[in-house]
Amino acid sequence: MLERLELEAYRLEHPTIPESAVVPTRHRDDTANGLTRCIIRYLQLKGHQAERINTMGRPIDTRRTYNVAGCIRQVGSLRWGKSTSTTGSADISAVVFGRAVKVEVKIGTDRQSEAQRCYQSAVERAGGLYFIAKDFNTFVEWLDDTFKDEMTYGESRNY
């Protein structure tokens, strides 16, 4: 479904390119990164705002390179500094029909941490929506069910 939407959007943007020349975009949802990309792209193709949230922090590079008698030597290390983002932030932040939506991506046996559960509670107390996505189809079903009143006829998914 996502690949079909991607193709339709491409055809609208480039109507003079023959359909036989278009290489379809492939999407995979069997990894955390792949599922995150699928969800973000789907929301964007449906006209919503969505972005990935990076909570990893920033790299601090203390490495130095020296030339010692013609031999190049590197001294120091690369480490990660503390992130300035909110602890437990969701992987995806979106605005869907004017509502704040946070999506946490979990693949396989991956589970929410205590910080993520606290973040979820804070989002829901503030009136936002929070969803734990384990696969693409379940996310689309949740989105359709949650926003069925806002969708106009014909906008719901067509499998």
pLDDT at 155 over 80: no
User: Any idea what DSSP says for residue 65?
Assistant: E
User: Any idea what DSSP says for residue 108?
Assistant: T
Q: 2-146 belongs to which CATH class?
A: alpha beta
Average pLDDT score over the chain? 88
Is residue 158 very low, low, confident or very high in pLDDT (cuts 50, 70, 90)?
very low
d(CA 9, CA 3): 10
pLDDT at residue number 21:
78
Domain limits, the chain:
2-146
Answer for the pair 140, 39: CB distance below 8 angstroms, yes or no.
Answer: no
pLDDT, tens only, 103-152: 999 999 999 999 999 999 999 999 999 999 999 999 999 999 999 888 76
pLDDT at residue number 154:
46
Residue 103 one-letter amino acid:
V
CB-based burial, 39-48: b 16+ in 10 Å, e otherwise: bbbbbeebeb
pLDDT at residue number 152:
61
pLDDT at residue number 125:
97
> Across residues 58-67, what is the average pLDDT?
87
